[in-house]
Structures are given as C-alpha cells and as structure tokens.
Amino acid sequence: MAAENNQIQPRTVLVACPNWVGDVVMATPTFGCLRESFPQSRVIGLIRRYARGVVEDGPWFDDIIEQNDKTARGFFDLIYQLRRLKPDLAVVLPNSFRSAIIARLGGARRIYGYRRNGRSILMSGGPRPRRENNHITPRPMAEYYMEICRWLNLDVPPQNKPRLYISDAMLTKGRRLIERYGIAPDEMVIGLNPGAKFGGSKCWPPEYFARLAELLSQRWNCKIMLFIGPGEADIGRQTEQ
C-alpha cells in the first residue's frame, strides 16, 4: 500500500473526474479527501464540460480543465495543456484505458486509480476492484472511489456523504426560478428526472415516475418539479399525464 500522505506534498495534483454527472456527485467525498490530504498542493480537476457545474462552486479544486478529447486535435491540445501544468500526482477516477493514458501522456509522474481494463502498466499503483466468482462485485460509487484514497493511505472521513455547493449568484437564480413556478420558499420540492442520455434502456417507464410523483405528493404534500433534457419532451409529457 502506498503512503502518499507521509511523503512531501506534491506541488500539483491532477484529478481526472468521472464522466457522468451522477458519478461526479458520488465522487465528491473523494474530492474532499484529496483536498484535505494535500492542502498545500495545487489541485486541478479534469472534467467534461457538461459536468463542470457540479464542481465549479465547490472547495475542492484550485483550477478546472474541461476535458475535450473527442477529436484528435482536442486530444493533443489537452495533452499539451496538461504537460504545461507538470502534475506530480494524478488520481484517475474513470476506469477507462483512455483516462490513464491521458494522465501518462500529460506528464504525470505518479498515476493512481483502479488497476483494471488492461491499464495497470500505465499506473504507479492503485487498488484492484473486488471480485466474486471472477466477476467484479458492484459497490456504491462513493465507496468505490474512496477506495483509491484508502489505498493511498490517506485520512478517509468516517462517512462518505456526497456534498454539493452553489454560489450566491446561482442561489439567487434558483430562487427566482422557483418563484416563477409559483413555489413558496417554505414549500418542499422534489425533483424527478425521467430521462437518460442513452435512452429507454437506462430509464424507468414514465408511468412509474408518474405514480411515484403521486405517492410523494400524497405523503409529504410536496410539489414535484420535472427535469427533462433535449429530446425528452415526450417522456416529460407521458410522465405528466
């Protein structure tokens, strides 16, 4: 097991964030652990543009880099940008081979993350996923990411509770939006998101969401706010009916 917290503090720590918004939220306890473990370091978050809003108002990162590597030009521009930062340490939360090679080509001296998907050769170390009968055992994502900090022998908090932060400007904007929908400040609001980026295979049926909304309203006398994304108007209408 590594002992990064007993060594000299790295000057620059690169944190490759998960690719999906929900996973980024589940990784916030790990972000906090890394921030507290390296208080004198410059901690940089590498994240997809669509997920940036989850972390930009939080206390975890000194700088944020948007990961735009889907084209050859974007990939090499990102590598050049990372090399200029000269990261001493990279913590790679995604499981992909690509995320590890970006950290390696980006000049990170030490790279830690899960040793899986054929990328162990690129890593300086890290845990292996738990397995049972030769299959990876599913775990809550907050615990899954925190296992990297445990492997590094960092001081892990007793509870891995995700946290989100918003700026005063965003809070004001949110309050105005709530008022526009006729919701009073003291009313309970529960948000439902019936859609998913990859379509129906990732979704609960709309009638299930509709029934859930009814049950929540009856139990807590709350108001329901339905969140839909681009191309999800039909799902929204079916849920409302």
* pLDDT by position in tens, the chain (length 241): 444 544 568 999 999 999 999 999 999 999 999 999 999 999 999 999 999 999 999 999 999 999 999 999 999 999 999 999 999 999 999 999 999 999 999 999 999 999 999 999 999 999 999 998 888 998 999 999 999 999 999 999 988 899 999 999 999 998 998 899 889 988 999 999 888 776 666 788 889 999 999 999 999 999 999 988 888 888 888 887 6
The upper half-sphere exposure of residue 237, i.e. CA atoms within 13 Å in the direction of its Cβ, equals 4
CA–CA gap between residue 225 and residue 206 (Å, rounded): 14
- 219's enclosing H/E stretch is helix 206-220
Contacts (Cβ under 8 Å, ≥6 apart) of 199: none
Domains of the chain: 4-151 (3.40.50.2000), 168-240 (3.40.50.2000)
Contacts (Cβ under 8 Å, ≥6 apart) of 196: 202, 203
pTM listed for this prediction: 0.85
CA–CA gap between residue 184 and residue 198 (Å, rounded): 35
CA–CA gap between residue 239 and residue 222 (Å, rounded): 17
Contacts (Cβ under 8 Å, ≥6 apart) of 7: none
Q: Can you read off the two tokens belonging to residue 21?
A: 């918004």
CA–CA gap between residue 181 and residue 224 (Å, rounded): 11
CB 36 within 8 A of CB 65: no
**Residue of 13, 35, 28, 20 whose CA lies nearest to 145:** 28
